[in-house]
Amino acid sequence: MTGKEVDQMTFEEALAELEGVVTRLERGDVALDESISLYERGAKLRARCQQKLAEAEEKVSRITLGDGGQPTGLQPFDAG
């Protein structure tokens, strides 16, 4: 584990660490307490990945298309 705060990670960082967590848990050679900690960290990493994917999806959905399907700009994002 990197020790970096999950909410500060990029998608790629969170996914890489999540893959490492899954690998360690699948091996089954960690103590129960460590397994629980790994599982908790993995849940946070998974949530971060989902959040970053949702943000990217929102950005893509705001791209406006003109005639012929060509991107013409972005619609203003209204989070309210």
Number of domains comprising the chain: 1
Reported confidence tier of residue 77, pLDDT bands at 50, 70, 90: low
Which domain covers residue 51, as residue numbers? 6-74
- Closest by alpha carbon to 49, among 13, 3, 4? 13
Tell me: the pLDDT tens digits for 17-60?
999 999 999 999 999 999 999 999 999 999 999 999 999 988 88
Read off the CATH number of the domain in which 33 is found. Answer: 1.10.287.1040
CA distances from 79 to 28, 54, 58, 76 (A): 43, 13, 10, 10
pTM of the model: 0.74
